[in-house]
Amino acid sequence: MKVLGIGCHPDDLEIACGGTLRKYFEQGADVYMCHVANGNQGHVVIEPDPLAAIRTKEAEASGAMLGAKEVFNINVGDMLVDSHDPAVMDAVADVVRYVRPDVILTHNPQDYMQDHVETSHIATNASFCSGLSHRPRKYEPFSSFIPVFFMDTLAGVDFQPTHYVDISAQIETKLGALRCHESQLKWMFEHDGIDFADMVKTCSKYRGYQCGVAYAEGFRPYNVYPRYSTKHLLPD
């Protein structure tokens, strides 16, 4: 099985589905991670170019901890993510063609910031475009209609999961991967007074309460024709 997570910023997948990605890996799946934005605006002191380089290294370290085979960086600047940009669409579609995933995890189309919303649209549209033969591409078309699951919003606001993954055995690895993003955790604590690792753990515990386990992550399927599947695609 091949799993592709498409997140916006370098830490978004870790926040919303890091435990699930690790569980996929532990169950033998090939896991791939892709972030569309480079995170270059995520600090009040570090300048954008050096910050983007820092965050790329943090994403690679985090991906290794989660078991990802590769971490792709589309390298769009923060607040510039645009689902109508054909170059970005084709770049993400080429990631899909390269990975040829059985399932994609991405942002909910309603989220707290525009970059996340645009990334959700990019992920679903690029997965469709990956099967088109006459788009600019590096790899052979992948004509499968790939099932997509939307992952939780930040702090779970206005998101009601229909599917849950028990990550009780993966919670510490999820938090360890999140802590690889040191530039963000330090900045959010110093700038906003937020212990972000604790917040993420609390949200995972809250989802766990909802489904009767210690820690969980919640998802909803992208319910459009023809992306349904008879297979159980989330890890048990």
CB-CB contact of 88 with 76 (8 Å): yes
Written as one letter, the residue type at 231 is K
pTM of the model as a whole: 0.97
Tell me the C-alpha to C-alpha distance, in Å, between residue 72 and each of 8, 92, 97, 99, 209.
11, 9, 13, 11, 33
What's the CATH architecture for 2-221?
3-Layer(aba) Sandwich (3.40)
Q: How confident is the model at residue 221 (pLDDT cuts 50, 70, 90)?
A: very high
CA distance 55 to 72: 12
pLDDT at 191: 82
Q: Tens digit of pLDDT for each residue in 121-156? A: 999 999 999 999 998 899 999 978 899 999 999 999
Arithmetic mean of pLDDT, 48-55? 98
Q: Tens digit of pLDDT for each residue in 150-206? A: 999 999 999 999 999 999 999 999 999 999 999 999 888 988 889 999 999 999 999
Q: How confident is the model at residue 226 (pLDDT cuts 50, 70, 90)?
A: confident
Q: Tens digit of pLDDT for each residue in 64-87? A: 999 999 999 999 999 999 999 999
Indicate the domain borders of the chain: 2-221
pLDDT at 223: 95
pLDDT at 229: 87
- DSSP annotation string for 167-233: -TTTHHHHHHHHHT-HHHHHHHHHHH---HHHHHHHHHHHHHHHHTSSSEEEEEE---TT---SS--
Percent of the chain with pLDDT over 90: 91
Angle formed by the axes of helices 12-26 and 48-66, to 10°?
Answer: 20
Strand partners, 31: 3, 68
Q: What is the 3-state secondary structure (H, E, C) of 119-154?
A: HHHHHHHHHHHCCCCCCCCCCCCCCCCCCEEEECCH
Percent of the chain with pLDDT over 70: 100
